[in-house]
Amino acid sequence: MTRAYNFSPGPCGLPDSVMQRAQAEFLEFAETQTSVMEISHRGKDFLKVYNNAVRLLREIMDISDDYAVLFLSGGATGQSAAIPLNLTASSDDTTAYIISGHWSQRSAVEGKKYCHTHIAADNTGNGHTILPSEWDVPENAAYLHYADNETVHGVEFSTRPDSFVPLVADMSSNIASRRINVSDYGLIYAGAQKNLGPTGVTVVIVRKELIRARSDVPMIWDYKNQIPAESMLNTPPTFQIYMVSLVLEWVKNEGGIDEMEKRCVEKAKLLYSCIDAGNFYTAPAQIGNRSRTSIPFFLADDVLTGDFVAGAEKEGMIGLKGHALLGGCRACMYNSMSVAGAQQLVEYMREFERKHG
């Protein structure tokens, strides 16, 4: 069987070796005579899986004991509500948000339900193609929230925003794709379905001293309760956590985050070089603000977009249709996408341009 190159924004493609191992262990995991999906989340066999996932993430990202690592349900969208409920003392508190695209905008709208939300910066006026370079943060803000990478609009912060208040980062689409200093952040969260595993589990890395956990936070979102319960106040997404542990092992064995970053840069350079080589393709994000992992682009003649996407599928490349908000095309190249996959896409794009340009 030949597997397609999956450029989808999520669920992402997963490394072949990870899928093969999961397949081999699907009916029986670790001599338990049952599947990993069927073993008790309270039993020793699953606790080994869970602890291995936590250990690997701490090792790969160099996460200190000052931080708790949680694996929760509800996606990054769920954390848009959980974060203000855990990092503020009451609805009278103030939080700050940098709006850089679709997902940070949604986070700010959700956060506004639970406390005073101050918009520190907003790039809506330029169509989210240029990242804010300045932001105004109130002195009493509990945190400054931003999205490190915007998958819809294809912009990415090359360095973290400077902030005198704790920094909260949505890293759903670029976590573990470059080296960061976790201690620079108050909280990092990421849906696993782009870089770490399948959909259905969300990673939360939170500095424990910042957790305040209001009385009105639902039990399932209460970090103070989830930490001693090891993310298991309810039955956790066991299979998804198992898959995350396999992906993290793969990252480690491939050379860790430094190797992921090297490949990420190479893949992005290949695609942007093709886009910028002529007038047939354009990328809306301004150079210097462009995402390395989520690359929207347009054909000069939009009538050809459908043919482009359909032709790519015939060549074994799927998920290139653009987001409904923007249209056009989008290539998401997360950690599991190989350099060979990026090269095949570029070759197809050049051939398509020769035929239709």
Residues annotated in the binding site for pyridoxal 5'-phosphate, as ranges?
76-77, 103, 151, 170, 193, 234-235
Structure tokens at 329: 């095309």
Structure tokens at 212: 């305040």
Binding residues, by number, are 42, 76-77, 103, 151, 170, 193, 234-235
Integer Cα distance of 344 and 348 in angstroms: 6
Is 170 labeled as catalytic in the residue annotation?
yes
Structure tokens at 357: 């340009």
Nearest to 189 by CA among 49, 87, 316: 87
Catalytic residue among 93, 135, 148, 170: 170
Torsion of CA 238, 243, 245, 251, to 10 degrees: -160
Is 66 labeled as catalytic in the residue annotation?
no
First to last CA, the chain: 34
Q: How many CB atoms lie within 10 A of CB 92?
A: 8
Catalytic residue among 103, 135, 221, 250: 103
Is 112 labeled as catalytic in the residue annotation?
no
Catalytic residue among 93, 135, 194, 267: 194
Binding residues for L-glutamate, by number, are 42
Q: What share of the chain is helix, strand, coil (3-state, %, to 5)?
A: 40, 20, 45
Q: How many CB atoms lie within 10 A of CB 133?
A: 9
Integer Cα distance of 261 and 267 in angstroms: 10
Task: Kindly state the greatest CA–CA separation across the chain.
Answer: 63
Q: Which positions are annotated as active-site residues?
A: 103, 170, 194
